[in-house]
Structure 1
């Protein structure tokens, strides 16, 4: 190509990068999900208002994202406030329930034994209840064992190892009911199987221990992302008529590709060839993006930081919405959730109907995770729809199950701006790994749900992580306390 251009007497010049801000901001925040917005709010409260927020997409909210489907707005990302009605208040709950008054519904999983299907119809409820009771006993034994382990995580084990210690093997091919109950208990929450997931980080789960056992499904046409807009509106200017954020400090469609840092400041370059400089940068992109090559760090991050980023898992959690011309599934009290006990673990196993949330919409939701999510993302939606139809007709053989009229398959794993749904701590990673994820490298700071030691993977974890990381930056920028202590591996 170069030789051909020379023969034509032409020469290609790369456009010069434009230095956008003459008087540079104090802080650049990369990412306008709830962690980035929470960081900006806390910095503003501390008097650091000279900031710039660069968001790769056309909206704020990140993985809290509504989308129009079947003439209503549904949530393709975060959907629940998890951990409610306990001794401590989940910080997201008052915003959802009291301040914004978003429509929400308590999720009731108590009658699950009556709602487990196999090929050919319902499973025997008494048998299913016995298997659920056994799984609960094993899980309780896991809680007791977890409490005896060293807090550093050095003696940690996988959930599957704990199950084996209790002579419980729910993943055998001979017991589809055991497999789907196990999948519902663990994969549905953590998006990875028990053989991967850390016992100590998840059993008991701090979200429910601290904030309560209840979960509330947000089904408001304003979208769960209203929470992020509300937080942003606390310090960013909004348009008087539309209410949308209209602050020059927030720039959308700015894809960050390079972060350079030195002892005197940071330089951020975006895909549109713009360049921004600041004293500090707060990186609030997802763990999946950090693990990808989307953003290059110049100089390269130190090896301990790279290892911390790579050793955690970025999971895939896929909520597939399906619309039908009529209802054929059971409704009423205790019928919201139903399971499919397949001989193939994780194959269209977890279902939810929306009689209360979206009345008259004829929608159901099926959730898949991990390998099934990746498989489904790579195939056409009509193939996914065909698989779903086959499963539903097998579950409801006596019903007239019509063809679905529409389907929505989110693709979080394939999206270069997310590369997955949320983080999970796998076995073999000690607790101090969270300190390393959160720890700054010079003037480069990090936040996100993946940096939350106790609440990773949750909306409240992302929100609190933004505050925690902001405090670390404030200590350095205002108090000159720039040394961040990372605990030793076995402390």
Structure 2
């Protein structure tokens, strides 16, 4: 081969090499961001989606089983009002740190009222009528407070791993206090069950005493009574990255409602999500934001099955049931004015229609009462007719206020436990679940990531926990996608 031909060939090869490098460079520069499917459009799912979008991961598909976004933040019409079927309070206000939900509520000018329980000791009714002396109830509340304070010291002395954790009931026994009479039982219920929706015998001491929400964000609670609903906070987040029309309705094709996810298949290279109506969605990653209650059922099947350690950890966590029953009357027969909003019914049957609230402050002239039940009573009530529930509630009210009070004209009984898309109200950290198992519960499995209020280490069970968990889970995924840090660290059992 002549020298001239050699030079031509070298130039051609050089040109091909340059073109190849250019193709590789352009291909890399033009490569689309990873695709992510998010299962569930509640607070944690939307929070995770926004975090991913803010990081440039915008190829998202949000699959929501219902016809709305918001999850367990859910306003519904009742007797001419919009009331909160689910989450109702911004809990944790006025402390050293700013609760992100309170910040958002303030920005949206969400109508709310601070709940003042200071006078509840003057509003505790006997089982068969009449009020207890205020001192009797105050003494019972002071005992609970002292036991709780002693529990804080004990809690701080235990290993952070949680392997020496005890239940709240065990804590009470150590402090020589086990509630048995109606007053001590209802004040105990008011202190613990009203907050965690499960009794002290199952609730972890180390993860509730002290309670991070109140320690960090403050001990004030604000009742949301805005006709836009508490769910407007979820909408506010979603509007920041999803397209909507001039009326505020979401028109972004990435948000797909009424898609019930039944199967999540995953491999080393992709995930496939199949819905109840047979639709199939493929992506690089999936973020599962359904409740821990749903994960404990067979609604969603994983292929291959999740590892045993993860399944065991998920099954150990509790999905509690917290039921707010609304009753409408044609007139008001209960005390109103300062210091009367909350009142207790001290029954021999612990947890039987125990905590009441009138809504004359939030909705003047509405003549609406709210009574809260939890756990076993919630499950029992969900299985009977609303008419039977109304009869029971009226019997209790007649014992408190006399036989001549009017009947309720309307009743609203939320049924979170019976709903296959929720299977309860919020998670509760039970005795026996330590940090090791909790980490397994929230750990990603390959390309499958998990979020939800139940994955919030310090704020599980709260709206702000759901919001912060969404951010945290999304950041774990982002670190894997962008930096290659895909290993989720789980400390040793006794660390």
Same-fold call, TM cutoff 0.5? yes
2:47 to 25, 38, 55: 38
Q: Does 1:481 align with 2:490?
A: no
Q: Any idea what SS the aligned residue of 1:121 has?
A: coil
Q: TM-score, normalised by structure 1?
A: 0.93
Tell me the equivalent position of 1:79: 88
Determine the structure 1 residue equivalent to 2:277.
Answer: 272
Q: Does 1:401 align with 2:410?
A: no
Distance in 2 (CA, whole Å) between partners of 1:477 and 1:27 is 11
Aligned counterpart, 1:178: 184
Per-residue CA deviations over 1:285-324 (Å, capped at 9, x if unaligned) read 0000000000000100000110111010000000000001
| 1:447 and 2:448 correspond | no
- 8 A Cα contact 1:229 1:245, kept in partner: no
Please give the alpha-carbon distance, in whole angstroms, between the structure 1 residues aligned to 2:34 and 2:399.
60
Separation in 2 of the partners of 1:252 and 1:195?
39
Alignment of 1:19-34 (within 5 A): 26-34=35-43
Counterparts of 1:99-178 in structure 2, within 5 Å, are: 99-118=107-126, 119-170=128-179, 172=180, 175-178=181-184
Q: Deviations over 1:407-431 (max 9, x none)?
A: 0000000000000001111111102
C-alpha separation in 2, matches of 1:489 and 1:422: 26
SS in 1 for 2:344: strand
Alpha carbons 1:328, 1:400 under 8 Å: kept: no
CA distance in 1, matches of 2:56, 2:253: 18
Whether 1:224 and 2:230 are equivalent positions in the alignment is yes
TM-score (norm 2): 0.92
Aligned-partner Cα distance in 2 for 1:474–1:127:
55
Residue in 1 aligned with 2:207? 201
1:373 is matched with which residue?
378
Say whether residues 1:253 and 2:261 are aligned partners.
no
SS in 1 for 2:489: coil
For structure 2, which runs of at least 5 residues remain unmatched after alignment? 1-31
State how far apart, in whole Å, the 1-side matches of 2:185 and 2:251 are: 49
Aligned-partner SS, 1:192: coil
1:326 and 2:331 aligned: yes
1:16 aligned partner: none
Q: Name stretches of at least 5 consecutive residues in structure 1 with no aligned partner.
A: 1-22
2:239 equivalent in structure 1: 233
Structure 1 residues 48 and 67, CA, compared in 2 at 3 Å: closer, same or farther?
Answer: same
Choose 1 or 2 for highest CA Rg: 2
For 1:308, the equivalent position in structure 2 comes to 313
Q: Is the 8 A contact 1:31 1:55 kept in 2?
A: yes
**What are the superposed Cα offsets for residues 61-112 of structure 1, whole Å, 9 maximum, x if unpaired?**
0000000000110001000000001000001101102x11010000101111
Equivalent pairs, count: 463
Q: Give 1:134 deviation, angstroms.
A: 1.2
- Work out the CA distance in 1 between the residues paired with 2:169 and 2:438: 23
1:287 is matched with 292
Deviation string for 1:259-278 (max 9, x for gaps)?
A: 00000100000011000000
- Alignment partners' CA distance in 2, 1:60 and 1:183: 32
Q: CA deviation at 1:356?
A: 1.2
